[in-house]
C-alpha cells in the first residue's frame, strides 16, 4: 500500500491533502464532510480583527439607542446574542471542531494591532487549536513606510506570538517581498515552524454604472500553483527543518504531486472544494496514489523534494534562465 503519511508542523497527518481556510471550514457539518472525504487537516477561517472591531462598534451604537429617553424604552432594545460577538464565534467553532473531528484543527489569525496578534492566537491555542497560522494579509499602501519597516513589524509579530503560545506556529506570507527568500528565512528565525506559500490577495473591481468599488471574488486556477512551486523548490534545501505548505492553485492530484515533488510537506486547497465539493478529496487522493504507483514512489517521504532546486540537474530552471527559455518557447500561429 502506498504510504501517503506526512508530517506538518510536527503533526502526523494521514496524507498531504489539507482543506485550507474558506467557507467549507467555517461550519461543523462541512468540516465533518471534509474529514470523511479524506482531509488530513483543516484550517478554520481567519479571525480578522477588523470584523471584531466593527462588531464592537455596532454593539456600542445599539446600546446607546434611547439613552436619553424614558427608562421604559429599554424594553425596545433589539435582542442580541452576545456569545456571537468578537472572537467568541471563532472560539466556539474551534471548540466544537476539536470535539467532533479527529484530524488536526489549525486556527488562522489576521490582526492589525501589535498586541492583538498574540491575544487572539493565545485564545485560539487555549481553546484547543493544534496549531496557529498567522495570516499576514495586509496591503502596505502608505508610501512613507519602507519595506524594511513592514518586514520588521511582521517579524516582531511572529516573535511575539511564538513566545505567547506553545502549539506549533506557521506563517502564511505573500509573494510580494523585495526578497522573498530572505524574509522566509528571517520568519523562521523569528519562530515560524512552517511557511504557507502563498497568500492570495483578492483585488477589488469597479462597477462602471454606479462607480462603486466591488469586492470581487475569483477562485484560483491550477496555473497559479507555479509561483508556490518555484519558491518551495528554492526554499526546500535552504530551510530543511521548516514545514512548507503549497497554497493557491491546488485543484487536482497532479497539483498535489507537483507540490510534493518540489518539497512541500502538504498541499492546501480551498477553491477546488468550493467548485466541486468535499467529495473531490476522494478523487484527488485516489489519483495521487495511482500516480505514485505508476512512477514507483512508495511514500510521500520518498517523493518529497525529489525535484527541488537542489535535486534537479539544472537548478537554474527555477530562476532567471527559465524566464528567458519561456519567452523564447512561444511560437506564433501560422498566418491564415
Considering the chain, what is the average pLDDT of its residues? 88
Quick check: is 232 in a domain? yes
Q: d(Cα 306, Cα 91) in Å, to the nearest integer?
A: 39
Query: What's the pLDDT tens digit per position in 303-312?
Result: 999 988 777 7
* pLDDT band (50, 70, 90) for residue 291: very high
* pLDDT band (50, 70, 90) for residue 111: confident
Secondary structure (DSSP) of 236-304: HHHSTTSEEEEESS--SHHHHHHHHHHT-SEEEESHHHHHH-TTHHHHHHHHHHHHHHHTT--BHHHHT
Element (H, E) at 7: strand 6-8
Give the per-residue pLDDT at 141.
83
Q: To which residue does cell 489549525 refer?
A: 106
Quick check: is 125 in a domain? yes
| Bigger pLDDT: 214 vs 225 | 225
For residue 241, pLDDT beyond 80: yes
Query: What's the pLDDT tens digit per position in 53-65?
Result: 444 434 434 444 5
C-alpha distance from residue 79 to each of 66, 76, 202 (Å): 15, 9, 35
| Bigger pLDDT: 40 vs 76 | 40
| Percent of the chain whose pLDDT exceeds 70 | 83
Query: What's the pLDDT tens digit per position in 249-264?
Result: 999 999 999 999 999 9
Quick check: is 335 in a domain? no
Number of folded domains that form the chain: 1
For range 77-89, the mean pLDDT: 62
Core vs surface per residue 22-36: b (16+ CB within 10 A) or e: bebbeeeebbebbbe
Query: What's the pLDDT tens digit per position in 195-221?
Result: 999 998 777 889 899 999 888 778 999
Backbone angles phi, psi at 42, to 5 degrees: -130, 145
Quick check: is 44 in a domain? yes
Element (H, E) at 106: strand 105-110
**CATH code (residue 236):** 3.20.20.70
For range 83-101, the mean pLDDT: 87
Contact 237, 309 (CB under 8 A): yes
Contact 281, 24 (CB under 8 A): no
Quick check: is 328 in a domain? no
Quick check: is 116 in a domain? yes
Predicted structure pTM score: 0.86
| Bigger pLDDT: 11 vs 206 | 11
Q: d(Cα 198, Cα 249) in Å, to the nearest integer?
A: 10
Give the per-residue pLDDT at 53.
45
Write out the three cell numbers for 6.
506526512
Residues whose CB falls within 8 Å of the CB of residue 312, separated by 6 or more in sequence, listed in order: 318
Give the per-residue pLDDT at 173.
96
Element (H, E) at 83: none
For residue 270, pLDDT beyond 90: yes
The parent domain of residue 65 ranges over: 6-308
Core vs surface per residue 284-308: b (16+ CB within 10 A) or e: bbeebbebbeeeebeebeebbbebb
Query: What's the pLDDT tens digit per position in 129-188?
Result: 999 999 998 778 889 999 999 999 999 999 999 999 999 999 999 999 999 999 999 999
Quick check: is 16 in a domain? yes
Quick check: is 319 in a domain? no
Give the per-residue pLDDT at 57.
37
Amino acid at each position: 500500500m502506498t504510504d501517503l503519511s506526512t508530517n506538518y508542523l510536527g503533526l502526523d497527518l494521514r496524507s498531504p491533502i489539507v482543506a485550507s481556510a474558506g467557507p467549507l471550514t467555517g461550519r461543523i457539518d462541512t468540516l465533518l464532510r471534509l474529514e470523511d472525504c479524506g482531509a488530513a487537516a483543516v484550517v478554520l477561517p481567519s479571525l480578522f480583527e477588523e470584523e471584531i472591531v466593527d462588531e464592537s462598534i455596532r454593539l456600542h451604537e445599539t446600546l446607546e439607542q434611547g439613552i436619553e429617553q424614558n427608562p421604559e424604552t429599554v424594553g425596545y432594545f433589539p435582542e442580541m446574542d452576545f456569545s456571537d460577538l468578537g472572537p467568541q464565534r471563532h472560539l466556539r467553532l474551534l471548540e466544537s471542531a476539536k470535539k467532533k473531528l479527529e484530524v488536526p484543527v489549525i486556527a488562522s489569525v489576521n490582526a492589525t494591532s501589535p498586541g492583538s496578534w498574540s491575544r487572539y492566537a493565545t485564545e485560539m491555542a487555549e481553546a484547543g487549536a493544534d496549531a496557529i497560522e498567522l495570516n499576514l494579509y495586509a496591503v502596505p499602501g502608505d508610501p512613507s513606510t519602507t519595506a524594511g519597516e513592514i518586514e520588521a513589524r511582521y517579524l516582531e509579530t511572529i516573535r511575539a506570538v511564538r513566545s505567547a503560545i506553545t502549539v506549533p506556529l506557521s506563517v502564511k506570507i505573500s509573494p510580494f517581498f523585495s526578497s522573498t527568500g530572505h524574509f522566509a528565512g528571517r520568519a523562521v528565525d523569528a519562530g515560524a515552524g512552517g511557511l504557507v506559500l502563498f497568500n492570495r490577495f483578492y483585488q477589488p473591481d469597479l462597477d462602471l454604472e454606479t462607480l462603486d468599488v466591488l469586492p470581487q471574488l475569483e477562485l484560483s486556477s491550477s496555473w497559479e500553483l507555479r509561483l508556490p512551486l518555484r519558491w518551495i523548490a528554492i526554499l526546500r534545501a535552504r530551510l530543511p527543518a521548516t514545514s512548507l505548505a503549497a497554497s493557491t492553485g491546488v485543484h487536482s492530484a497532479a497539483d498535489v504531486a507537483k507540490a510534493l515533488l518540489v518539497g512541500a510537506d502538504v498541499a492546501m486547497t480551498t477553491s477546488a472544494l468550493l467548485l466541486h465539493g468535499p467529495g473531490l478529496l476522494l478523487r484527488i487522493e485516489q489519483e495521487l496514489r495511482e500516480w505514485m504507483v505508476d512512477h514507483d514512489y512508495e511514500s510521500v517521504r520518498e517523493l518529497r523534494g525529489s525535484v527541488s532546486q537542489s535535486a534537479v540537474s539544472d537548478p537554474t530552471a527555477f530562476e532567471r534562465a527559465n524566464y528567458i527559455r519561456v519567452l523564447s518557447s512561444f511560437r506564433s500561429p501560422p498566418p491564415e
